[in-house]
């Protein structure tokens, strides 16, 4: 048994873990980062955010060549896509991002240990290493950042052939002729849009009453209309059961949650996109006094510390939104506390969410329904991209910006967007809400013309009762 002593050990090298390790090292802590994968980046970098967005960009380019170029007066010859090259580009993007993470960690002075890390009591981590003796690391502070894995639906077991997870679909050898997707959160709708763009007939199933159910209802409706225009068949408010796999494909029985009516859908393959669960099963949590809820999430306080002093948990293994950027923000808090520095709890009402469909969806703050449920008297301002010059220039007229304002205080409670490049545009709203700009002051900010950002200003004017162009 080999031993190592350090100030901080981090288990998991995703967007939470590598940020925590790098920041801890830059705070002067002797830091060890434990990762079982041969590459750094975690699910987001290797099997999630980055590869899916690479596929999405290829899909957008293909759609432009196939249908959109003529609108701009450009004639494209015999356009075609090569799926193997699409996958190759995706892999190159993933490799580049992973190498960037590795370089950052190295520059920060972090020691990386390859293997499966497991707690062995407070302040002790045992790393099982392939071909080497186990390494026992003793540290004053430990940060757990082991991420999540795909959830399973009882009775529906992925086999990698007909029934797939997102991991399978990211490396599928050919675009299927047809695909059933169970789950219409961000992962489900993004894959629906990508596969549809490459010619796959998609059936999208969601048990709740609308797709992207965590977003504002208007955003859900707008995206549903957009996907429907493209030919995606949507069954919201339906529960899937009796999945049957045969030589020619897969079928599923869908039951309307409200009426009980049933319909059977068939396809070449089926994707399970029903959320993610924390990876805490083999983490050694039974060797410490950390509290784990029935779903497997580690309970932490506002500064990401567990019930065990010096033991922190961040990212997808805690019961906060499973978003890479939130994991990184939690990492900053945990690393600061591990180094004995001041830190403040994160405001979970101001965590942005992004969905990279076409049109894109983005939001920050309270939805209209959430604001009303909390007792706010509100005004809603909405501006359609169809009325905006830059959207016409881009030939992307669908969508809107929606502002939810508290009429008593003038504060902006939430901003919700559907449309071109809104996953970038939402950053303005994040800054404004974080800085405490009220709707009046924010509306007076001069927005450049012609830009998509003008839609934000117009929605603010509308919320203030001073709509001009809308």
DSSP symbol at 285? G
CB atoms within 10 A of CB 447: 15
> H or E segment at 183?
none
Closest CA to 123 of 23, 280, 3, 302: 3
Cα separation, 192 vs 271, in Å, equals 10
Estimate to the nearest angstrom the gap between the alpha carbon of 117 and the chain centroid: 25
Residue with tokens 């970038």: 424
Q: Which of 168, 225, 416, 449 is catalytic?
A: 449
Say which DSSP state 297 is in.
P
Q: Please say whether the beta carbons of 319 and 300 come within 8 A.
A: no
Cis peptide bond upstream of 467, omega within 30 = no
Is the separation of the CB atoms in 158 and 181 below 8 Å? no
3-class secondary-structure state, position 312 = strand
449 catalytic per annotation: yes
Q: Which two tokens stand for residue 91?
A: 């892999």
* CA terminus-to-terminus distance, the chain: 70
Dihedral sign from CA coordinates of 94, 96, 98, 101: negative
Cα gap 149→197, rounded to integer Å: 26
Length, in residues, of the chain: 470
Q: Which residues pair with 4 in a beta bridge?
A: 137
Q: 25 vs 37, 348, 375, CA distance in Å?
A: 21, 27, 45
In 417-432, which positions are buried (b, 16+ CB within 10 angstroms) versus exposed (e)? bbbbbbbebbebbbeb
Cβ-count burial 10-31 (b if 16+ within 10 Å, e if not): bbbbbbbbbbbbbbbbebebbb
CA nearest to 37, candidates 157, 191, 190, 147: 147
**Cα within 13 Å of Cα(47), Cβ side:** 17
φ, ψ at 19 (rounded to 5°): -65, -45
For residues 448 and 450, give the distance between their C-alpha atoms in angstroms, rounded to a whole number. Answer: 6
Which positions are catalytic? Answer: 449
């Amino acid at each position: 048994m080999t031993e190592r002593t350090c100030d901080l050990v981090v288990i998991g090298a995703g967007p939470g873990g590598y940020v925590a390790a790098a920041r801890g090292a830059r705070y002067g802590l002797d830091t060890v980062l434990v990762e079982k994968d041969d590459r750094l980046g975690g699910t987001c970098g290797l099997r999630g955010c980055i590869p899916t967005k690479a596929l999405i960009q290829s899909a957008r380019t293909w759609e432009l060549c196939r249908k959109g170029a003529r609108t701009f007066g450009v004639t494209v010859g015999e356009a075609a896509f090569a799926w193997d090259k699409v996958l190759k580009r995706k892999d190159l993007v993933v490799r580049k991002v992973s190498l960037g993470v590795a370089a950052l960690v190295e520059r920060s002075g972090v020691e990386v240990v390859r293997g499966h890390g497991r707690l062995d009591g407070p302040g002790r981590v045992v790393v099982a290493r392939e071909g080497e003796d186990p390494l026992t690391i003793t540290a004053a502070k430990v940060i757990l950042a082991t991420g999540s894995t795909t959830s399973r639906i009882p009775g529906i077991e992925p086999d990698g052939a007909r029934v797939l997870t997102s991991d399978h679909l990211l490396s599928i050898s050919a675009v299927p002729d047809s695909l059933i997707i169970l789950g219409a959160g961000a992962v489900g709708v993004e894959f629906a849009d990508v596969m549809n763009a490459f010619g796959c007939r998609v059936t999208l199933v969601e048990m709740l009453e609308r797709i992207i159910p965590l977003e504002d209802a208007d955003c859900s409706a707008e995206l549903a209309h957009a996907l429907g225009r493209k030919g995606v068949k949507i069954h919201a408010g339906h529960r899937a059961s009796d999945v049957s796999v045969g030589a020619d494909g897969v079928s599923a029985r869908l039951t309307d949650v409200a009426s009980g009516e049933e319909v059977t859908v068939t396809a070449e393959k089926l994707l399970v996109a029903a959320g993610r669960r924390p990876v805490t099963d083999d983490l050694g949590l039974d060797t410490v006094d950390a509290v784990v809820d029935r779903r497997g999430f580690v309970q932490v306080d506002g500064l990401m510390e567990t019930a065990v002093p010096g033991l922190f948990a961040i990212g997808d293994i805690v019961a906060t939104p499973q978003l890479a950027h939130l994991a990184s923000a939690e990492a900053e808090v945990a690393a600061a506390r591990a180094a004995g520095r001041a830190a403040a709890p994160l405001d979970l009402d101001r965590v942005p969410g992004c969905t990279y469909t076409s049109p894109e969806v983005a939001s920050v703050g309270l939805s209209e329904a959430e604001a009303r449920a909390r007792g706010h008297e509100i005004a809603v301002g909405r501006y359609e991209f169809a009325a905006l010059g830059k959207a016409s220039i881009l030939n992307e007229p669908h969508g809107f910006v929606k502002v939810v304002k508290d009429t008593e205080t003038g504060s902006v409670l939430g901003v919700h967007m559907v449309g071109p490049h809104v996953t970038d545009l939402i950053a303005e709203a994040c800054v404004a809400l974080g800085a405490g700009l009220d709707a009046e002051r924010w509306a007076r900010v001069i927005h450049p013309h012609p830009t998509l950002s003008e839609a934000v200003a117009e929605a603010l004017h509308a919320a203030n009762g001073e709509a001009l162009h809308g």
